[in-house]
Protein backbone atom coordinates (compact mmCIF):
# COMPACT_ATOMS: atom_id res chain seq x y z
CA UNK A 1 0.00 0.00 0.00
CA UNK A 2 1.28 3.47 -0.79
CA UNK A 3 2.92 5.61 1.84
CA UNK A 4 0.60 8.10 3.41
CA UNK A 5 0.86 10.60 6.19
CA UNK A 6 -1.46 12.94 8.04
CA UNK A 7 -0.93 16.57 7.07
CA UNK A 8 1.48 17.75 9.73
CA UNK A 9 3.81 20.60 8.80
CA UNK A 10 6.66 18.08 8.82
CA UNK A 11 4.86 15.79 6.35
CA UNK A 12 4.03 18.70 4.04
CA UNK A 13 7.71 19.71 4.07
CA UNK A 14 8.70 16.16 3.23
CA UNK A 15 6.22 16.06 0.33
CA UNK A 16 7.67 19.36 -0.93
CA UNK A 17 11.16 17.90 -0.72
CA UNK A 18 10.03 14.83 -2.67
CA UNK A 19 8.62 17.11 -5.38
CA UNK A 20 11.81 19.21 -5.51
CA UNK A 21 13.81 16.03 -5.98
CA UNK A 22 11.68 14.89 -8.89
CA UNK A 23 9.25 12.61 -7.06
CA UNK A 24 5.45 12.49 -6.95
CA UNK A 25 3.29 13.51 -4.00
CA UNK A 26 -0.51 13.36 -3.79
CA UNK A 27 -2.23 16.08 -1.81
CA UNK A 28 -5.68 17.42 -0.93
CA UNK A 29 -7.10 20.52 -2.58
CA UNK A 30 -10.51 22.10 -1.96
CA UNK A 31 -11.84 20.43 -5.13
CA UNK A 32 -10.32 16.92 -5.39
CA UNK A 33 -6.95 15.30 -4.57
CA UNK A 34 -4.10 16.12 -6.93
CA UNK A 35 -1.05 14.11 -8.01
CA UNK A 36 1.79 16.61 -7.95
CA UNK A 37 5.24 16.96 -9.49
CA UNK A 38 7.69 19.79 -10.17
CA UNK A 39 6.13 21.38 -13.26
CA UNK A 40 9.60 22.06 -14.74
CA UNK A 41 11.03 18.55 -14.27
CA UNK A 42 10.30 16.53 -17.44
CA UNK A 43 11.07 13.15 -15.83
CA UNK A 44 8.72 13.80 -12.93
CA UNK A 45 5.96 15.06 -15.22
CA UNK A 46 6.37 12.01 -17.49
CA UNK A 47 5.89 9.85 -14.38
CA UNK A 48 2.52 11.52 -13.73
CA UNK A 49 1.31 10.51 -17.20
CA UNK A 50 2.60 7.00 -16.70
CA UNK A 51 1.12 6.53 -13.23
CA UNK A 52 -2.29 7.79 -14.32
CA UNK A 53 -2.32 6.09 -17.71
CA UNK A 54 -3.12 9.54 -19.06
CA UNK A 55 -3.08 10.20 -22.82
CA UNK A 56 -0.04 12.35 -23.62
CA UNK A 57 -2.14 14.95 -25.50
CA UNK A 58 -4.06 15.89 -22.33
CA UNK A 59 -2.25 18.76 -20.56
CA UNK A 60 -1.98 19.40 -16.81
CA UNK A 61 -2.87 22.25 -14.47
CA UNK A 62 0.02 24.12 -12.83
CA UNK A 63 -0.70 24.94 -9.19
CA UNK A 64 0.66 28.22 -7.85
CA UNK A 65 0.14 30.41 -4.78
CA UNK A 66 -1.17 33.62 -6.31
CA UNK A 67 -1.54 35.96 -9.26
CA UNK A 68 2.10 37.02 -9.01
CA UNK A 69 3.23 33.47 -9.68
CA UNK A 70 0.85 33.40 -12.65
CA UNK A 71 2.52 36.49 -14.09
CA UNK A 72 5.77 34.48 -14.35
CA UNK A 73 4.05 31.78 -16.40
CA UNK A 74 1.76 33.87 -18.60
CA UNK A 75 2.61 35.99 -21.63
CA UNK A 76 -0.26 38.29 -20.73
CA UNK A 77 -3.14 38.37 -18.29
CA UNK A 78 -6.10 40.37 -19.63
CA UNK A 79 -7.95 42.82 -17.41
CA UNK A 80 -11.04 40.61 -17.06
CA UNK A 81 -8.82 37.69 -15.97
CA UNK A 82 -7.32 39.89 -13.26
CA UNK A 83 -10.84 40.53 -12.02
CA UNK A 84 -11.47 36.79 -11.88
CA UNK A 85 -8.26 36.29 -9.92
CA UNK A 86 -9.24 39.08 -7.52
CA UNK A 87 -12.63 37.48 -6.93
CA UNK A 88 -11.88 33.74 -6.96
CA UNK A 89 -8.20 33.08 -6.15
CA UNK A 90 -7.23 31.21 -4.18
CA UNK A 91 -10.08 28.86 -5.10
CA UNK A 92 -11.58 26.42 -7.58
CA UNK A 93 -10.85 28.36 -10.77
CA UNK A 94 -8.26 27.41 -13.43
CA UNK A 95 -7.22 29.93 -16.07
CA UNK A 96 -5.81 28.92 -19.45
CA UNK A 97 -3.33 31.61 -20.55
CA UNK A 98 -0.82 32.06 -23.35
CA UNK A 99 2.58 30.88 -22.14
CA UNK A 100 5.36 33.23 -21.23
CA UNK A 101 7.91 33.07 -24.10
CA UNK A 102 10.59 32.14 -21.57
CA UNK A 103 8.89 28.83 -20.70
CA UNK A 104 10.02 25.58 -22.31
CA UNK A 105 7.52 24.63 -25.02
CA UNK A 106 6.51 21.37 -23.29
CA UNK A 107 5.72 22.85 -19.86
CA UNK A 108 2.11 22.27 -18.87
CA UNK A 109 1.83 19.13 -20.95
CA UNK A 110 3.68 15.90 -21.67
CA UNK A 111 7.46 16.46 -21.98
CA UNK A 112 7.40 15.16 -25.55
CA UNK A 113 4.74 17.61 -26.65
CA UNK A 114 4.50 21.36 -27.00
CA UNK A 115 1.78 23.95 -26.60
CA UNK A 116 1.42 27.72 -26.56
CA UNK A 117 -1.05 27.79 -23.65
CA UNK A 118 -0.84 26.67 -20.04
CA UNK A 119 -3.53 26.07 -17.39
CA UNK A 120 -2.87 27.60 -13.97
CA UNK A 121 -4.75 27.67 -10.69
CA UNK A 122 -4.17 28.76 -7.09
CA UNK A 123 -5.88 26.27 -4.77
CA UNK A 124 -7.29 27.51 -1.45
CA UNK A 125 -6.74 24.34 0.61
CA UNK A 126 -4.17 25.20 3.29
CA UNK A 127 -2.23 21.96 2.74
CA UNK A 128 -1.99 22.58 -1.00
CA UNK A 129 -0.91 26.17 -0.39
CA UNK A 130 1.78 25.18 2.10
CA UNK A 131 3.02 22.45 -0.24
CA UNK A 132 3.40 24.89 -3.14
CA UNK A 133 5.15 27.43 -0.91
CA UNK A 134 7.62 24.83 0.46
CA UNK A 135 8.27 23.32 -2.98
CA UNK A 136 9.12 26.78 -4.38
CA UNK A 137 8.01 25.75 -7.85
CA UNK A 138 4.71 25.49 -9.71
CA UNK A 139 3.27 22.03 -9.07
CA UNK A 140 1.83 20.23 -12.09
CA UNK A 141 -1.08 18.18 -10.78
CA UNK A 142 -3.94 16.35 -12.41
CA UNK A 143 -6.60 14.74 -10.26
CA UNK A 144 -5.02 11.80 -8.38
CA UNK A 145 -7.00 9.01 -10.03
CA UNK A 146 -6.25 6.51 -12.77
CA UNK A 147 -7.41 7.88 -16.14
CA UNK A 148 -11.11 7.15 -16.58
CA UNK A 149 -11.87 6.68 -12.85
CA UNK A 150 -13.88 9.22 -10.83
CA UNK A 151 -11.67 11.91 -9.25
CA UNK A 152 -10.63 11.24 -5.63
CA UNK A 153 -12.52 13.14 -2.94
CA UNK A 154 -10.74 11.39 -0.07
CA UNK A 155 -7.24 10.00 0.50
CA UNK A 156 -8.69 6.50 0.48
CA UNK A 157 -9.70 6.92 -3.19
CA UNK A 158 -6.05 7.65 -4.04
CA UNK A 159 -4.97 4.51 -2.18
CA UNK A 160 -7.55 2.51 -4.16
CA UNK A 161 -6.11 3.63 -7.50
CA UNK A 162 -2.31 3.58 -7.05
CA UNK A 163 0.53 1.29 -5.90
CA UNK A 164 3.36 2.35 -3.63
CA UNK A 165 5.83 2.51 -6.52
CA UNK A 166 3.62 4.98 -8.39
CA UNK A 167 3.35 7.73 -5.73
CA UNK A 168 6.11 8.55 -3.24
CA UNK A 169 3.91 10.11 -0.56
CA UNK A 170 0.20 10.78 -0.07
CA UNK A 171 -0.76 13.63 2.24
CA UNK A 172 -3.99 12.46 3.89
CA UNK A 173 -6.15 15.49 4.55
CA UNK A 174 -9.39 13.51 4.91
CA UNK A 175 -12.36 14.36 2.71
CA UNK A 176 -12.17 17.39 0.46
CA UNK A 177 -14.81 20.10 0.88
CA UNK A 178 -15.71 20.65 -2.79
CA UNK A 179 -15.90 17.34 -4.62
CA UNK A 180 -15.85 18.44 -8.28
CA UNK A 181 -12.80 19.60 -10.24
CA UNK A 182 -12.15 23.32 -10.72
CA UNK A 183 -13.87 25.49 -13.30
CA UNK A 184 -11.55 25.87 -16.33
CA UNK A 185 -11.73 29.15 -18.24
CA UNK A 186 -9.71 30.05 -21.31
CA UNK A 187 -8.70 33.71 -20.99
CA UNK A 188 -6.48 33.89 -24.09
CA UNK A 189 -9.09 35.83 -26.09
CA UNK A 190 -11.21 38.97 -25.77
CA UNK A 191 -13.91 36.98 -23.98
CA UNK A 192 -13.73 34.22 -21.40
CA UNK A 193 -14.45 30.71 -22.71
CA UNK A 194 -15.81 28.15 -20.27
CA UNK A 195 -13.95 24.88 -20.90
CA UNK A 196 -15.10 22.96 -17.82
CA UNK A 197 -17.92 24.02 -15.48
CA UNK A 198 -17.24 23.94 -11.74
CA UNK A 199 -18.00 25.67 -8.46
CA UNK A 200 -17.18 29.05 -10.02
CA UNK A 201 -20.23 29.27 -12.28
CA UNK A 202 -20.81 31.12 -15.55
CA UNK A 203 -23.13 33.53 -13.70
CA UNK A 204 -20.39 34.28 -11.18
CA UNK A 205 -17.96 35.01 -14.02
CA UNK A 206 -20.49 37.34 -15.60
CA UNK A 207 -21.14 39.14 -12.32
CA UNK A 208 -17.43 39.81 -11.80
CA UNK A 209 -16.35 40.63 -15.37
CA UNK A 210 -19.52 41.81 -17.10
CA UNK A 211 -18.66 39.27 -19.81
CA UNK A 212 -20.81 36.27 -20.57
CA UNK A 213 -18.46 33.27 -20.89
CA UNK A 214 -18.79 31.44 -24.17
CA UNK A 215 -19.60 27.79 -23.54
CA UNK A 216 -17.74 25.13 -25.46
CA UNK A 217 -19.89 22.15 -26.38
CA UNK A 218 -18.56 18.88 -24.99
CA UNK A 219 -19.18 17.07 -28.23
CA UNK A 220 -17.37 19.62 -30.36
CA UNK A 221 -15.12 17.81 -32.82
CA UNK A 222 -12.08 19.92 -31.93
CA UNK A 223 -12.24 20.30 -28.15
CA UNK A 224 -10.54 23.39 -26.74
CA UNK A 225 -9.83 21.50 -23.53
CA UNK A 226 -8.31 18.19 -24.56
CA UNK A 227 -9.43 16.45 -21.38
CA UNK A 228 -13.09 16.92 -22.21
CA UNK A 229 -13.04 14.51 -25.14
CA UNK A 230 -12.26 11.44 -23.05
CA UNK A 231 -14.91 9.41 -21.25
CA UNK A 232 -14.13 10.68 -17.79
CA UNK A 233 -15.32 10.21 -14.25
CA UNK A 234 -16.72 6.87 -15.24
CA UNK A 235 -17.99 4.05 -13.05
CA UNK A 236 -17.48 0.53 -14.42
CA UNK A 237 -21.17 -0.26 -14.89
CA UNK A 238 -23.14 1.47 -17.64
CA UNK A 239 -25.03 4.41 -16.20
CA UNK A 240 -28.35 5.87 -17.32
CA UNK A 241 -29.52 9.31 -16.24
CA UNK A 242 -33.27 9.61 -15.90
CA UNK A 243 -34.65 13.10 -16.50
CA UNK A 244 -37.74 14.63 -14.99
CA UNK A 245 -39.10 15.84 -11.68
CA UNK A 246 -37.76 13.81 -8.72
CA UNK A 247 -40.98 11.81 -8.08
CA UNK A 248 -41.51 11.01 -11.71
CA UNK A 249 -37.84 10.11 -12.28
CA UNK A 250 -37.81 7.88 -9.20
CA UNK A 251 -40.89 6.02 -10.49
CA UNK A 252 -39.26 5.48 -13.90
CA UNK A 253 -36.05 4.31 -12.25
CA UNK A 254 -38.02 1.84 -10.11
CA UNK A 255 -39.61 0.47 -13.29
CA UNK A 256 -36.25 0.03 -15.01
CA UNK A 257 -34.65 -1.52 -11.93
CA UNK A 258 -37.40 -4.11 -11.49
CA UNK A 259 -36.72 -5.35 -15.04
CA UNK A 260 -32.97 -5.65 -14.34
CA UNK A 261 -31.86 -9.20 -13.42
CA UNK A 262 -28.43 -8.56 -11.85
CA UNK A 263 -27.29 -6.35 -8.99
CA UNK A 264 -28.16 -2.76 -9.76
CA UNK A 265 -27.37 0.66 -8.33
CA UNK A 266 -29.65 3.67 -7.90
CA UNK A 267 -28.08 7.09 -7.54
CA UNK A 268 -30.69 8.90 -5.48
CA UNK A 269 -31.15 12.09 -3.49
CA UNK A 270 -32.32 12.69 0.07
CA UNK A 271 -35.72 13.62 -1.36
CA UNK A 272 -36.39 10.24 -3.01
CA UNK A 273 -34.70 7.80 -0.60
CA UNK A 274 -37.91 6.94 1.28
CA UNK A 275 -39.71 6.17 -1.98
CA UNK A 276 -37.18 3.49 -2.98
CA UNK A 277 -37.21 2.01 0.49
CA UNK A 278 -40.97 1.60 0.38
CA UNK A 279 -40.99 0.37 -3.19
CA UNK A 280 -38.29 -2.30 -2.88
CA UNK A 281 -38.31 -3.19 0.82
CA UNK A 282 -36.39 -6.43 1.40
CA UNK A 283 -34.63 -6.39 -1.95
CA UNK A 284 -32.90 -3.20 -1.07
CA UNK A 285 -29.52 -2.68 0.51
CA UNK A 286 -30.27 0.77 1.77
CA UNK A 287 -27.21 2.35 3.23
CA UNK A 288 -26.26 5.98 2.74
CA UNK A 289 -22.72 5.14 3.87
CA UNK A 290 -22.55 2.26 1.42
CA UNK A 291 -21.32 -0.26 3.99
CA UNK A 292 -23.52 -3.21 3.04
CA UNK A 293 -22.69 -5.82 0.42
CA UNK A 294 -25.20 -6.85 -2.20
CA UNK A 295 -26.56 -10.39 -1.98
CA UNK A 296 -29.01 -12.42 -4.04
CA UNK A 297 -31.89 -11.23 -1.85
CA UNK A 298 -30.63 -7.70 -1.59
CA UNK A 299 -29.75 -6.96 -5.17
CA UNK A 300 -30.47 -3.23 -5.27
CA UNK A 301 -28.15 -0.60 -3.78
CA UNK A 302 -29.45 2.90 -3.27
CA UNK A 303 -26.77 5.51 -2.63
CA UNK A 304 -27.66 9.09 -1.73
CA UNK A 305 -25.47 11.56 -3.58
CA UNK A 306 -26.84 14.48 -1.57
CA UNK A 307 -29.74 16.82 -0.84
CA UNK A 308 -31.41 18.59 -3.76
CA UNK A 309 -31.93 21.68 -1.62
CA UNK A 310 -28.18 21.92 -1.07
CA UNK A 311 -26.40 21.17 -4.40
CA UNK A 312 -22.99 21.37 -2.71
CA UNK A 313 -23.83 18.12 -0.88
CA UNK A 314 -24.52 16.49 -4.27
CA UNK A 315 -21.23 17.79 -5.71
CA UNK A 316 -19.47 16.46 -2.63
CA UNK A 317 -21.06 13.02 -2.68
CA UNK A 318 -21.19 12.16 -6.39
CA UNK A 319 -17.74 10.64 -7.00
CA UNK A 320 -17.70 8.62 -3.77
CA UNK A 321 -21.04 7.07 -4.82
CA UNK A 322 -19.70 6.17 -8.28
CA UNK A 323 -16.67 4.51 -6.71
CA UNK A 324 -18.91 2.67 -4.24
CA UNK A 325 -20.98 1.26 -7.10
CA UNK A 326 -17.76 -0.08 -8.62
CA UNK A 327 -16.87 -1.79 -5.35
CA UNK A 328 -20.36 -3.31 -5.07
CA UNK A 329 -20.06 -4.74 -8.57
CA UNK A 330 -23.44 -3.51 -9.81
CA UNK A 331 -24.25 -4.34 -13.44
CA UNK A 332 -26.10 -1.10 -14.15
CA UNK A 333 -26.61 2.29 -12.52
CA UNK A 334 -29.72 4.46 -12.79
CA UNK A 335 -29.29 8.06 -11.70
CA UNK A 336 -31.70 10.89 -11.02
CA UNK A 337 -30.79 14.22 -12.56
CA UNK A 338 -30.55 17.57 -10.76
CA UNK A 339 -31.55 21.09 -11.79
CA UNK A 340 -28.96 22.46 -14.21
CA UNK A 341 -28.51 25.93 -12.71
CA UNK A 342 -25.61 27.25 -10.63
CA UNK A 343 -23.49 24.39 -9.32
CA UNK A 344 -26.01 22.03 -10.94
CA UNK A 345 -24.40 22.76 -14.30
CA UNK A 346 -21.10 21.25 -13.15
CA UNK A 347 -22.85 18.33 -11.43
CA UNK A 348 -24.80 17.41 -14.56
CA UNK A 349 -21.70 17.88 -16.73
CA UNK A 350 -19.84 15.24 -14.66
CA UNK A 351 -22.87 12.94 -14.45
CA UNK A 352 -23.32 13.08 -18.23
CA UNK A 353 -19.67 12.11 -18.63
CA UNK A 354 -20.04 9.24 -16.18
CA UNK A 355 -23.05 8.08 -18.20
CA UNK A 356 -21.26 8.51 -21.52
CA UNK A 357 -24.09 10.90 -22.49
CA UNK A 358 -26.80 8.26 -21.85
CA UNK A 359 -29.84 10.22 -20.65
CA UNK A 360 -33.47 9.19 -21.03
Q: Which residues bind Mg ion (CB under 5 A)?
A: 143
Select the binding partner of residue 226 from ligand TXA, Mg ion, none (C-beta < 5 to 8 A, by kind): ligand TXA
DSSP assignment string, 180-227: SPPEEEE-SSSS-EEEE--SS-HHHHHHHHS--PEEPPTT-SS-SSGG
Closest distance to ligand TXA from the beta carbon of 82 (Å):
19
| Stretch 209-228 residues interacting with ligand TXA (CB under 6 A) | 225-228
Select the binding partner of residue 350 from Mg ion, ligand TXA, none (C-beta < 5 to 8 A, by kind): none
Stated length of the chain: 360
Task: Say whether residue 345 binds ligand TXA (CB under 6 A).
Answer: no
- Please give the C-alpha separations between residue 129 and each of 23, 38, 138, 307, in angstroms, as whole numbers: 18, 14, 11, 30
Task: Say whether residue 45 binds ligand TXA (CB under 6 A).
Answer: no
DSSP E strand boundaries for the chain = 4-6, 25-27, 34-38, 61-63, 93-98, 117-121, 139-140, 169-172, 183-186, 193-196, 214-215, 239-242, 264-269, 284-286, 300-306, 332-336
Residue 196, burial from CB neighbour count under 10 angstroms (0-12, 13-18, 19+): buried
Using CB positions, name the residue nearest to Mg ion: 143
Select the binding partner of residue 169 from ligand TXA, Mg ion, none (C-beta < 5 to 8 A, by kind): none
Using CB positions, name the residue nearest to ligand TXA: 227
Task: Say whether residue 119 binds ligand TXA (CB under 6 A).
Answer: yes
**208 vs 300: CA distance, rounded Å:** 45
Applying CB under 6 A, the span of 15-23, 141-149, 208-216, 246-254 interacting with ligand TXA comes to 141-149
Closest distance to ligand TXA from the beta carbon of 260 (Å):
32
Nearest CB to ligand TXA, comparing residues 60 and 194: 60
Spatial CA neighbour of 26 closest among 164, 133, 118: 164
The conformation of residue 175, written as its DSSP 8-state character, comes to S
Nearest CB to ligand TXA, comparing residues 144 and 305: 144
| Stretch 96-115 residues interacting with ligand TXA (CB under 6 A) | 96, 108, 115
Angle between helices 273-280 and 246-258 (to 10 degrees): 30
Task: Say whether residue 135 binds ligand TXA (CB under 6 A).
Answer: no
Cβ–Cβ contacts within 10 Å for residue 63, how many? Answer: 28
Nearest CB to ligand TXA, comparing residues 56 and 243: 56
**44 vs 50: CA distance, rounded Å:** 10
**263 vs 265: CA distance, rounded Å:** 7
Select the binding partner of residue 96 from Mg ion, ligand TXA, none (C-beta < 5 to 8 A, by kind): ligand TXA
Give the H/E segment covering residue 349: helix 343-354
Provide the β-strand partners of residue 333.
239, 265
Select the binding partner of residue 108 from Mg ion, ligand TXA, none (C-beta < 5 to 8 A, by kind): ligand TXA
Select the binding partner of residue 201 from ligand TXA, Mg ion, none (C-beta < 5 to 8 A, by kind): none
Candidates 14, 181, 326, 336: give the one binding ligand TXA (CB under 6 A). 181
Nearest CB to ligand TXA, comparing residues 161 and 336: 161
Burial track 99-126 (b if 16+ CB lie within 10 A, e otherwise)? beeebeebbbbbbeeebebbbbbbbbbe
Task: Say whether residue 31 binds ligand TXA (CB under 6 A).
Answer: yes
Spatial CA neighbour of 280 closest among 248, 246, 256: 256
Task: Say whether residue 94 binds ligand TXA (CB under 6 A).
Answer: yes
Task: Say whether residue 81 binds ligand TXA (CB under 6 A).
Answer: no
Task: Say whether residue 126 binds ligand TXA (CB under 6 A).
Answer: no
Candidates 47, 196, 323, 353: give the one binding ligand TXA (CB under 6 A). 196
Task: Say whether residue 201 binds ligand TXA (CB under 6 A).
Answer: no
Residues that bind ligand TXA (CB under 6 A): 29, 31-32, 34, 58-61, 92, 94, 96, 108, 115, 117-119, 121, 123, 141-143, 181-182, 184, 195-196, 225-228
Amino acid sequence: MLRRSVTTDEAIREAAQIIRQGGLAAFPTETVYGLGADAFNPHAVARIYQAKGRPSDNPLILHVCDGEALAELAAAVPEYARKLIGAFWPGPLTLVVNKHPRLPAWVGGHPEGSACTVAVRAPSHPVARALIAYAECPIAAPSANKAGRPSPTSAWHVVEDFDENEIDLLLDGGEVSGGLESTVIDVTGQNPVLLRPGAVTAEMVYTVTGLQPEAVGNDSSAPRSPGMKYRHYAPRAPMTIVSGEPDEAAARIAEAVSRQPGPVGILATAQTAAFYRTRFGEQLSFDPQGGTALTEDRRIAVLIMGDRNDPQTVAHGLYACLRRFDALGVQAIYAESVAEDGLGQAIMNRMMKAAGGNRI
